[in-house]
Chain A
Amino acid sequence: MSDKTSLLDARGIGKSFLGIMALDGVDFTLARGEIHALLGENGAGKSTLIKILTGVYTRDRGTVALDGEDVTPANVAEAQALGIGTVYQEVNLLENLTVAENLYLGRQPRKFGLIDRREMRRRSEALLSRYGLSIDVDALLSSYSVAIRQIVAIARAVDLSGKVLVLDEPTASLDSHEVEMLFSVLRRLREEGLGIIIITHFLNQVYAVADRVTVLRNGRLVGTKKLAELPRLELISMMLGRELQHITREHQAEAETIAPTAEAPIRFAGYGKRGSVAPFDLSVRPGEVVGIAGLLGSGRTETAFLLFGIDRADSGTATIDNKEIALSSPEAAISNGFGFCPEERKTDGIIGDFSVADNIALALQARQGWSKPISSREKAQLAESFIKSLDIRPPDANRPIKFLSGGNQQKAILARWLATNPRLLILDEPTRGIDIGAHAEILKMIERLCAEGMSLVVISSELEELTAVAHRVIVLSDRRHVAELSGDQLTADNIMQAIASSARLEAAE
């Protein structure tokens, strides 16, 4: 290990946007044959550092050396030519192109000066097969799920990277199996001597795959350490600059305050849609958090779509306070006091040129009707309170939201739905892409909302998170509700078992 020479060497990198210091004198070194995690809270400057190294932004200060030679890539193409392949946090490739065209954009195989489509298809299939993916590479990218798109993006970047591979939150939409596959590819590339930078908010994954870690806080370097010698708690306090308050299951006590006999005011009976989710019963009491667990594709998101009227149920009834309601559209759901914070916030949620305050006020405004505008003072107060409670950074309500870091944008979208003070709030993966400090804040906020009598449905692939916040967890498998766990039964192990045993049942059938 001692003969590892540094492959990429960045010194004293500085960058400011509109007078805000995003990076301030950051040093970063990447060795040949190492996987290097880059960590920090939302807005710490991780993506900015990546973009400087890969030619998207020009640095204000500092030097970057690749293989001992000073480099200053002026754009992504130049960085690619230097052997740096990147998956950016916000990129989902091009939906209007086929999978093969996406994989080989800018470097298509050619014959007599013309693109050789057959060769491109052949290579694409070979490339994706290494990720266990055998799909029609001539189909449009848009016809595939987010997870597949993410794998395609990773495959492209890996293929492009002769020396350095950069992955900015690559695992956000992957399930554990796909993450494992990605990691085995990364380990193989490490053997081949590649330098790999990975950004993620999942600490488990950091410890599973990375050799060293560099932590940024508020645009400054906190330190670079070997992971083998770094206890988890110390890493967390490096990131936060303080100790993380322990998340306890204090609500367990509160659970008893919900009278078990009380009639649930919001009820779905035999609710379902053919080809989407099998009919299920669901009732939610005020102040209750119902968790939904299951593997990717088990029907979690589809259940949310049904509850919020995005998809129309073809069986069953929905009742509120014993009155039957028709959830024929999201508008209908909103007017019944429902709120929904979707999984694909990155692409669906934000209006980039609007300010943070406007983005937060949007759903509330829509619910009040556009004829009754929210006054700018109200809006400012609203924004102020959420910026504080969710720790949105920078704390500037008037900044266009597109200038915020990815995780801070997500917090603002969450704030949008919280602001409507809904009766039933459906959260699909509420903490994905959000740093560990804000993660705890969000879980606390969920508990506070419950105490105020709001009902919540939380969908999450993080079982620890579900067991921490939910009073009851419904387990989905193969688009059916297969189990319901509560009380002492509610542990991550039991959820896993419920998923596994139903899968085994199906295999036996």
Chain B
Amino acid sequence: MIHSRNLPFVTTLGIFVIAYALCVLQFPNMFSTRVVGNLLTDNAFLGIAAVGMTFVILSGGIDLSIGSMIAFASVFVAVMVNSLGVHPLIAFAAVLVISTIFGSLMGAMIRYLGIPPFVVTLAGMFLARGAAYLISTQSVPISHEMIDAIQGFYFRFPGGGRLTALAILMLAVFIVGAFVAGRTRFGANVYAIGGNQQSAELMGVPVGSTTIGIYALSGFLSGLAGIAYTLYTSSGYSLATVGVELDAIAAVVIGGTLLTGGVGLVAGTFVGILIQGLIQTYIVFDGTLSSWWTKIVIGVLLFVFIVLQRAIIWYSNRKLAESRLREV
């Protein structure tokens, strides 16, 4: 039985399967491991960041600093490795520590100063972007034998597709993210806060530490997404990934997570990412369409989903009324 709270996810999955089938009908070549492999690799950094965004939105918040944080992380790593000659692993570790602390500070401000997440993370967005500019305004290329090794690593699918290290990283983040959300107490607390913060508090949920944890996780994952972006483009650039937070929000919402918090699945976000990737792939295959069609289709999908969510709320209210009538 499909519980109504899984309905948005099931719908998204259905839309993806149908859309993919239609694409394949038109371009049979799209049904190949090559396409799937590329799709995963191309969207790896976005997917990683979107997992963090899923937790934030599930808790009823928002994180606008993600795109800037990715840019900051990529420039930081590139400059550390290239100009300062630091080993990539140390640079990775350093950037993950910085981004996690950055996220936890935002979480602490949201919780203890009572400033809305929108405002705090908007400030964080400017701050991270500014810090990236400070490091370098140029595109900084990166080369190191270890980075080359990571970039060259892949599993070969039957059919010629490649499962790259980036794709594996993203899949791992999604799997761990799904377990954290669905099967840990931290995850349950995130849903609780998103449902109703005051009630959660009165039920003994540690709202403070959970809020900090949520934004720390989102910071950590944007740092990781920045590393993935560096590996993907072999460079760090402070002007890159402007607006990626909005793509991440779109993936989360299309994946069936309620923007008001409390309802949604990490797996849904994965499907949201796949749908965005599918549209891009379709445009590449078609060859004549402008890449702006991606934005248009995503815009339409967002509308569809918001209407769908309204419909579900209406439906569950009606069911509630009916169930009240049934009992005596």
Contacts and interface: CB of A to CB of B under 8 A. Distances in A.
Interface of A: 56, 75-77, 79-80, 86, 88, 90-97, 101-102, 105-106, 108, 110, 113-115, 117, 138-140, 142-145, 147-148, 156, 275-276, 295-298, 301-302, 478-479
Nearest to B262: A96
Contacts of B196: 94-96
Contacts of A92: 199
Nearest to B319: A143
25 contacts: A76-B201, A77-B206, A91-B199, A92-B199, A93-B203, A94-B191, A94-B195, A94-B199, A96-B262, A101-B191, A105-B200, A105-B203, A105-B204, A106-B204, A114-B183, A114-B184, A115-B184, A140-B4, A143-B319, A143-B323, A147-B327, A276-B325, A295-B328, A297-B328, A301-B324
Given A138-B3, A479-B325, A77 B194 contact: no
B195 A275 contact: no
B316 A143 contact: yes
B325 to A, nearest CB: 6
Given A105-B192, A139-B3, A140-B3, A94 B200 contact: yes
Interface in B205-220: 205-206
B144 interface: no
Interface of B: 3-5, 179, 182-185, 188-189, 191-192, 194-196, 198-206, 262-263, 316, 319-320, 322-325, 327-328
A478 B323 contact: no
A56 B319 contact: no
B204 A108 contact: no
A297 B324 CA distance: 7
A145 B3 CA distance: 18
Given A96-B5, A145-B324, A76 B183 contact: no
A299 B206 CA distance: 41
B264 to A, nearest CB: 10
B323 A97 contact: no
Contacts of A97: 188, 191-192, 195
A101 B185 CA distance: 10
Given A101-B188, A108-B185, A142-B316, A91 B195 contact: no
Nearest to B201: A76
A359 B163 CA distance: 60
A295 B328 CA distance: 8
Contacts of B201: 56, 75-76
Given A76-B201, A92-B199, A95-B195, A115 B188 contact: yes
B188 A77 contact: no
Given A143-B323, A145-B327, A479-B325, A93 B199 contact: yes
A96 B328 contact: no
* Residue of A94, A115, A295, A478 ringed by the most chain B CB atoms within 10 A: A94
B184 A94 contact: no
B188 A108 contact: yes
Contacts of B203: 76, 91, 93-94, 102, 105-106, 156
Contacts of B184: 113-115
B185 A115 contact: yes
A114 B179 CA distance: 8
Contact of B205 (A95, A105, A295): A105
B328 A106 contact: no
A408 to B, nearest CB: 19
Contact of A145 (B194, B202, B323): B323
A156 B196 CA distance: 17
* Residue of A79, A145, A275 ringed by the most chain B CB atoms within 10 A: A145
Contacts of A77: 204-206
A156 B202 CA distance: 12
* Residue of B3, B183, B198, B205 ringed by the most chain A CB atoms within 10 A: B183
A77 B204 CA distance: 4
Contacts of A478: 328
Contacts of A88: 202
Nearest to A301: B324
A149 to B, nearest CB: 11
Contact of A75 (B5, B182, B204, B323): B204
A143 B327 CA distance: 12
A485 B276 CA distance: 66
A97 B199 CA distance: 12
Contacts of A93: 199, 203
B325 A275 contact: yes
Nearest to A157: B203
A478 B203 CA distance: 36
A94 B192 contact: yes
A143 B198 CA distance: 21
A96 B327 contact: no
A184 to B, nearest CB: 21
A56 B179 contact: no
Contacts of B322: 275
A296 B204 CA distance: 31
A117 to B, nearest CB: 8
A311 B184 CA distance: 42
Contacts of A144: 323
Contact of A96 (B204, B263, B323): B263
B300 to A, nearest CB: 27
A118 to B, nearest CB: 12
Contacts of A91: 199, 202-203
B3 A76 contact: no
Given A106-B185, A142-B316, A76 B202 contact: yes
A140 B323 contact: no
Contact of B206 (A75, A140, A302): A75
Contact of A76 (B4, B194, B204): B204
Q: Which 3 A-B pairs have the closest CB atoms?
A: A96-B262, A96-B195, A77-B204
A420 to B, nearest CB: 26
Contacts of A138: 3
Contacts of A142: 316, 320
B188 A140 contact: no
Contacts of B195: 94-97
B204 A80 contact: yes
Nearest to A175: B328
B111 to A, nearest CB: 13
A224 B57 CA distance: 49
A298 B328 contact: yes
Contacts of B182: 115
Contacts of B328: 295-298, 478
B183 to A, nearest CB: 4
Nearest to A503: B328
A92 to B, nearest CB: 7
A387 B289 CA distance: 67
B57 to A, nearest CB: 13
B204 A143 contact: no
A90 B5 CA distance: 25
A110 B184 CA distance: 8
Given A94-B195, A97-B192, A101-B188, A297 B327 contact: yes
A97 B194 CA distance: 10
Nearest to A55: B204
Contacts of B183: 114-115, 117
B95 to A, nearest CB: 28
Contacts of B198: 90
Contacts of A86: 202
Contacts of B324: 145, 297, 301
Contacts of A479: 325
* Residue of B196, B200, B202, B319 ringed by the most chain A CB atoms within 10 A: B202
